[in-house]
Amino acid sequence: MNRIKINSPEGDSLIILGGTVDDIRTLLPQKGLFIITDRNVQKFHGKKFPPGEVIAIEAGENSKTLRVVEEICGQMIRAGADRSAFVLGFGGGVVCDIAGMVASVYMRGVRHAFVSTTLLSQVDASIGGKTGVNLGEYKNTIGTFRQPEFVLCDHAMLTTLPETEMRSGMGELFKHAIIRDRNLFFDISASAGQIMEGDMAVAASLILRAARIKAGVVRRDPLEKGQRRILNFGHTFGHVIETHYGIPHGLAVARGMTVAAELSAWKGEMAHTELILMQGALEDAGLLTAHQLPAEVVRMISRDKKSESGSVNFVLLRSVGRAVIRRISISELEQFVSYYNEKESQSQ
Ligand code: NAD
């Protein structure tokens, strides 16, 4: 079992990797526990839930709405939850985003923690204290920062994940390596097949390395005022692709990373050979879907959280393993999107 601590002025968070639910029993209150989960997780892992009131939402991205947050708060108040309530989000990234949001707004904030059950949430979504729901087609537009007291990542729970969701998690696993750690990138590329076949020992060591990267970035910039933005690599295009095509988050991010890498090469920030290296690894791991950039891409990006007065903060690459943040104007982005779409249509 490994532990990573995130200490920040906004609160401390302990990430426990490789433990089981038994390891967190002493961290939970004797009463007033509210377990927020989704129906799939309840079906597969409900027997492991600690004693408490269970609130199960519909699985999937469509549940990430203010209406669902309101419904959960309503169930909590009817069940007698007061300010001493403790929310345990038990599930993947969707559950963590919603449970974190509920915990940060219910009675102006109650204690919370996560049991993280997908590869994507173990390497990314459950760590770092970002919560959020979608506003129509705009992803994570309404949200808060609030660190979970602890996060348990029981890797054995990943064995029940559907193949597509495992692949989706590989997208965010790769992302951490591509922005910060070239050796990890090569190690993930070499082990992708073993992870997909369910080798949890291999997965555990790579999850630990990726989680350390994320925790390190969050520790230095918990409220995303600067460097934490590098964790958004691939997400500006990825969010548009995810919303337009309704594909899993990590697969949309993988496609978004290739577009952002193209943009990096187009801007002269990165050598073309690095783009080929990155794209090849994502393709070999089966992460690249054939989705084109939708027509509304520039309009949606200009309304994204990362956009400010006519330009957008973009995460680009200098090389695989080294990300940088650059401001790009909307007009330059329009030029790039025309170039990219033209190139893609010629390669079909
Ligand atoms: P998810 O939570 O929807 O889980 C994917 C699917 O797997 C769901 O159907 C779920 O019911 C099922 N599932 C979960 N655990 C399972 C298990 N152990 N066995 C079988 N089935 C299981 O999706 P996700 O990929 O975990 O998370 C994606 C979400 O995370 C997106 O909404 C994204 O925006 C968000 N996210 C948030 C952050 C953050 O910092 N807050 C970071 C990255 C992603």
Dist. CA 38 → ligand 1 center (Å): 10
Ligand 1 close to Cβ of residue 41 (< 6 A)? yes
Query: Nearest residue CA, atom 13 of ligand 1?
Result: 41
Dist. CA 121 → ligand 1 center (Å): 6
- Per DSSP, the three-state class of 320 is coil
Q: What span, in angstroms and rounded, lies between the C-alpha atoms of 68 and 57?
A: 8
Q: What span, in angstroms and rounded, lies between the C-alpha atoms of 94 and 57?
A: 10
pLDDT at 306 over 90: no
Closest atom of ligand 1 to 59 CA is 11
- Per DSSP, the three-state class of 265 is helix
pLDDT in tens, 52-103: 999 999 999 999 999 999 999 999 999 999 999 999 999 999 999 999 999 9
Ligand 1 close to Cβ of residue 286 (< 6 A)? no
CA dihedral sign, ordered 324, 293, 139, 135: positive
Residues 6+ apart with CB under 8 A from 161: 117, 118, 119, 169
Q: Which of 60, 37, 12, 104 is nearest to 248 (CA)?
A: 60
pLDDT in tens, 251-296: 999 999 999 999 999 999 999 999 999 999 999 999 998 778 888 8
Dist. CA 306 → ligand 1 center (Å): 22
Determine the pLDDT at residue 59: 98
Closest atom of ligand 1 to 64 CA is 32
Dist. CA 131 → ligand 1 center (Å): 13
Determine the pLDDT at residue 348: 67
Dist. CA 338 → ligand 1 center (Å): 33
Ligand 1 close to Cβ of residue 274 (< 6 A)? no
pLDDT in tens, 189-214: 999 999 999 999 999 999 999 999 99
pLDDT at 303 over 80: no
Q: What span, in angstroms and rounded, lies between the C-alpha atoms of 34 and 36?
A: 6
pLDDT at 117 over 80: yes
Determine the pLDDT at residue 158: 98
pLDDT at 308 over 80: no
Q: Which of 96, 57, 48, 50 is nearest to 76 (CA)?
A: 57
SS3 content of the chain, % helix, strand, coil (to 5): 55, 20, 25
Q: What span, in angstroms and rounded, lies between the C-alpha atoms of 293 and 238?
A: 9
Q: Which of 113, 123, 146, 116 is nearest to 25 (CA)?
A: 113
Q: What is the mean pLDDT of residues 13-29?
A: 97
Ligand 1 close to Cβ of residue 94 (< 6 A)? yes
pLDDT at 41 over 80: yes
Determine the pLDDT at residue 298: 84
Determine the pLDDT at residue 292: 80
Ligand 1 close to Cβ of residue 275 (< 6 A)? no
Query: Nearest residue CA, atom 2 of ligand 1?
Result: 92
pLDDT at 341 over 90: no
Q: Which residue has the higher pLDDT, 343 or 62?
A: 62
Query: Nearest residue CA, atom 32 of ligand 1?
Result: 94
Dist. CA 94 → ligand 1 center (Å): 5
pLDDT, the chain, mean: 95
Determine the pLDDT at residue 346: 80
Dist. CA 125 → ligand 1 center (Å): 8
Ligand 1 close to Cβ of residue 118 (< 6 A)? yes
Query: Of all helices (H) and strands (E), which one includes residue 55?
Result: strand 53-57
pLDDT in tens, 137-172: 899 999 999 999 999 999 999 999 999 999 999 999
Query: Nearest residue CA, atom 35 of ligand 1?
Result: 93
Write down the residue that tokens 């309503």 correspond to.
74
Query: Nearest residue CA, atom 37 of ligand 1?
Result: 125
Ligand 1 close to Cβ of residue 120 (< 6 A)? yes
